[in-house]
Structure 1
Amino acid sequence: MAIVGEEYCSAEERVLTVRKTSHFSPGDGFAAYDHRTGGLAFRADTYGRGHGGGAAYAGELALLGPAGEALITVRRRRPSLHQRWEGYLGARADGQKPLFSARRSSILGGAAAGAVVELLAPLPASFSSTHAAAAELLRVDGSFPRRCCRVVAPKAESGGEAAVVAEIRRKVDEGARVVMGRDVFVLRVGAGFDAAFAMAIVLVLDQIAGDEADGNAGEETNRAMIW
């Protein structure tokens, strides 16, 4: 299911370790490393500070490849009661139509209420009509602030079951037998699903969560021992 590009779709499940690199504002710094190779797969920066992608629109977020190329740009749509965000392929240009939009599932419940991600027309040419029917609307179940949620594609019109295409979980250091803090977590991308698009969803979820990701500090900000 290529959305950004076929090169980001793997025949096998892909596991990324995601590290939040900045706390000045939600989402303005992320680095994602491939579990298999250990190499940098994606990073994220805020536009308007002279960082990657060659754009200078304040408040926009850029998902970049390892070489600094802009893959997706996300920005908040205003006004929006549901915290609606829009994503654009590459470095967004004036007049460009969004590739997808994302919003809270409900005004009530905050980020813990989940989110809805909608792919907007025209869909990429890589989609078949069968894939498009199943992928036009994705939902995020669970709590991103607690780093425990999954991205689910609904049933296709032809039948079948809903499929989990990506999942976010807390990072576990098996050697030290501890659960890492929320600044480091795991993104599992299902076989055939676009890892760059999955990472763009992470950026949006972090923006939707906002300060909720820093609330309930307690055990959430510390490492928990596994016995």
Structure 2
Amino acid sequence: MLLFLKSSSRTVHHYPDQESGIEINNFSTDDIDHQRCCTSLTVWSKSLVFGCNGFTVIGSDGSLAYRVDNYSDNPNQIVLMDGSGNPIFTICRRKKLRLIDDNWLVYNGEVGKYCDKSSRKPIFCVKKNANILKTKKLSAIAYVYNDGISTASSKRCAYMIEGSYKHRSCQILDETGQVVAEIKRKQASTGGVSFGLEVFVLVVNAVFDPGFAMAFVLLLDQMFH
């Protein structure tokens, strides 16, 4: 049980502000599990606040790294906070006339109750890959586009997510095809006992922002919950 958590004494999240833009870093690694180049987070799909839906994310040192406490009755808007409760990202679902055209917008910080009325510009737009044919071939399950744009003319995406969130087995790839983060099932250190789907591991490469990787987890949970 996660009853006693120590707050992180340092800022876990580092991210440029809205005006400075976003820099996508490329890297080369043979093993994303290598401890010297990665951050490993334990994600628990429960809020520590009674009566709230959300997530609790624990760092490798046992500190509370990130949290989501959804008090509102709006499931289409989620605020990701650091361990101290400071907002990092707001994720909003934007519905269109057709279900397959649904996409999600990611904003820096907190944008208020109504994302569609905000004067802020989203930093990313995420689209679910509508696999109508239900093919068994491994393909992308979601695409991430820069600057909140996902049109027919913007064929080049910044990130792509492959695998199966339902089975907690996903890889996040940058535009060069390199893995920047990975979602895995969590197992006990001895005996190989699984913790189920509510507790899993998010492994993040050193050059990628763990906070943004956690935002991807929230997006996938919205898409495939």
TM-score greater than 0.5 by the shorter chain: yes
1:18 aligns with 2:18: no
Q: 1:78 Cα shift?
A: 1.1
Q: 1:28 Cα shift?
A: 3.6
SS across alignment from 1:205? helix
Partner of residue 66 from structure 2, selected from 42, 62, 65: 42
**CA–CA separation in structure 2 for the residues paired with 1:58 and 1:186:** 24
**Structure 1 residue ranges, 4+ long, deviating more than 3 angstroms after superposition:** none
**Residues 34 and 40, structure 1, Cα contact 8 Å, conserved in 2:** yes
Partner of residue 217 from structure 2, selected from 187, 192, 202: 202
**CA–CA separation in structure 1 for the residues paired with 2:213 and 2:53:** 17
**Residues 47 and 61, structure 1, Cα contact 8 Å, conserved in 2:** no
1:146 aligns with 2:167: yes
Partner of residue 185 from structure 2, selected from 151, 170, 178: 170
Give the corresponding residue for 1:68.
85
Q: 1:46 Cα shift?
A: 2.2
**CA–CA separation in structure 2 for the residues paired with 1:121 and 1:101:** 4
1:172-191 to 2 correspondences below 5 Å: 172-191=187-206
SS across alignment from 1:196? helix
Partner of residue 144 from structure 2, selected from 102, 105, 117: 117
Render the CA deviation track for 1:67-118: whole Å, top value 9, x for unaligned: 10110000100115243111110001522111111111224249x8611111
**CA–CA separation in structure 2 for the residues paired with 1:85 and 1:74:** 7
**Residues 4 and 89, structure 1, Cα contact 8 Å, conserved in 2:** no
Q: 1:58 Cα shift?
A: 6.6
Render the CA deviation track for 1:171-195: whole Å, top value 9, x for unaligned: 0102343021000000000111011
Query: Which structure is higher in RCO with an 8 Å CA cutoff and minimum separation 6?
Result: 1
Structure with more of its chain in helix, by fraction: 1
**Residues 106 and 113, structure 1, Cα contact 8 Å, conserved in 2:** no
**CA–CA separation in structure 2 for the residues paired with 1:206 and 1:29:** 11
Q: 1:165 Cα shift?
A: 0.1
| Cα-Cα RMSD | 3.0
SS across alignment from 2:224? helix
| Residues 121 and 114 of structure 1, relative CA distance in 2, 3 Å threshold | closer
Give the corresponding residue for 1:127.
none
TM-score (norm 1): 0.68
| Residues 136 and 115 of structure 1, relative CA distance in 2, 3 Å threshold | closer
Amino acid at match of 1:170: R
Uncovered stretches (5+) of structure 1, i.e. residues with no partner: 50-56, 123-134, 156-161, 211-227
SS across alignment from 1:63? strand
1:89 aligns with 2:120: no
TM-score (norm 2): 0.69
| Residues 28 and 85 of structure 1, relative CA distance in 2, 3 Å threshold | farther
| Residues 88 and 47 of structure 1, relative CA distance in 2, 3 Å threshold | farther
Partner of residue 58 from structure 2, selected from 33, 37, 52: 33
Aligned residues: 175
**CA–CA separation in structure 1 for the residues paired with 2:78 and 2:102:** 15
Amino acid at match of 2:207: G
**Residues 170 and 184, structure 2, Cα contact 8 Å, conserved in 1:** yes
